[in-house]
Amino acid sequence: MHIRKMFSDYSGMPKEAKYLIYASIMPAIAYGLIFTDISYFLTVIQGLPADFTGLVISTMGISTFVASIFLGMLADVYGRKKMLIVGNLLASIILTVLALTTDPVLLIGAAILEGVSEAAVTASSSALLADKVENEKRTSLFSLYGFVQNLAFALGSFAVPFVIFFELVGFTDKDSHIILYALIAILGALSTLIMLKVSESKKLKSKADETGLLPRKSMNVLLKYVLSGAILAFGAGMVVPLMTLWFNLQYGISDKISATILAVASVLVGFATLVAPLIAKKFGLVKAIVITQLASTLFMFLVPFSPNYALAGFVYGIRALLMNMASPLSQSMIMGLVAEDERGAVSGISGALWRLPNALSTFVGAWLMGIGLLAEPFLIASLLYVASIVLFWYYFRSVKMPEETAQRS
């Protein structure tokens, strides 16, 4: 009964919402490859220092922070669809550049453009999704989108072991990695063709409002949302982008093994997101977010105490499952609370104020791991998670979503 009800929530999605989901698959695979493997690839395959690798990853986040603020506001005026297409094409180019060079200047430049790409996608995708569906279907759509994104992200992680096939036909380990990166970049660029089928949002600001690009009507709820989220992001950044490196330092395993572990975790996360709307309906959107995040924090704390990589991977996978189950719920919540013509700006600003602390803490996490402190990043992250969850509950404990209010009336 519950299973049938769960899947009934996903039926009848508008055609253009489905196009957005289809178009997101290859970019998510590309991002899955980047964020799963880049710490290992640059450090172990390319031979760059761990702290420089941390700097590259941090630069991506700082660039995303700066670009998101402006691109989100501009998307509300000039078009969210255009911004999505630009972001996707840039991601494909940057993936190739990251694979082909060890020049520090070029890598930092590529990291900056990767941040611009990520910002363009973040600023436009959530706003476009929210525009294509009614309030009653919004949480289900974001959960379905999250399911597909996580599976695609997992495919990006699963792609790493495929370098073995290139090695079998005579390519070196390094060249095999480069070929893999380039193939995914090409497929990602081709996904732009699906994006062209999506119509531009009808809920944009008029050109006359260009001087007032800030989301003034939504500012109060936005500030509360980003403050609690920024603390969580700082904690996550200390470990999440560095897991292939951490597995190598802690257990001596290669990215072919650790990337597979992380890919399995992403698959679990994907299926878990399908359950998220049921939890939201039972407890309410805000309580569902708090419950899943608190449970995730416990597993974050336990990861570094695992005696072997298999158990560490399992514990980390449960952590990822619970934390990312809350992600589509959070996205649905903020899109439901803010003004419709300010969704692009809100997506951009909230994404920016997630990525900046996330990026800064990645450098800290990489430095700690580089000097042999392998448990400390997880312990610090757990404390920051708790602080974030408490603050989020304080701000939003009394909030009722439009669809929740409608169901009671």
Q: Domain-by-domain residue ranges, the chain?
A: 2-199+214-398
Q: Is 3 exposed, middle or buried (0-12, 13-18, 19+ CB in 10 A)?
A: exposed
The tens digit of pLDDT for each residue in 379-404 reads 999 999 999 999 999 999 887 776 65
Alpha helices, H only, 159-218: 163-168, 173-190, 192-195
Q: Are 177 and 45 in contact (CB under 8 A)?
A: yes
Highest mean pLDDT among 136-140, 276-280, 309-313, 354-358: 309-313
- Nearest CA to 27 out of 142, 117, 131, 105 is that of 117
- Give yes or no for residue 4 having a pLDDT over 60: no
pLDDT digits (tens, 9 = 90+) for 327-338: 888 888 888 888
Per-residue pLDDT tens over the stretch 200-257: 776 665 544 544 566 778 888 888 998 999 999 999 999 988 898 899 999 998 877 8
CB contact at 8 A, 125 and 24: yes
pLDDT for the residue 207: 47
| Global pTM value | 0.70
Helix pair angle (376-396, 219-237), 10° resolution? 160
What is the Rg, in whole angstroms, of the alpha carbon atoms belonging to the chain? 20
- pLDDT of 7 > 60? The answer is no
- Average pLDDT of the segment spanning 132-146: 80
- Residues 293, 236: Cα–Cα separation, whole Å: 12
Structure confidence by residue, pLDDT tens digits, 307-349: 999 999 999 999 988 888 888 888 888 888 888 778 877 877 8
Residue 201 DSSP one-character state? P
pLDDT at 407 over 60: no
| pLDDT band at residue 1 using 50, 70 and 90 as cut-offs | very low
Q: What is the DSSP string of 364-398?
A: HHHHHHHTT--SHHHHHHHHHHHHHHHHHHHHHTT
Q: What is the pLDDT of residue 310?
A: 92
∠ Cα 214 215 218 (to 5°): 155
Both tokens assigned to 364: 């800290």
At the second CATH level, the architecture of 2-199+214-398 is Up-down Bundle (1.20)
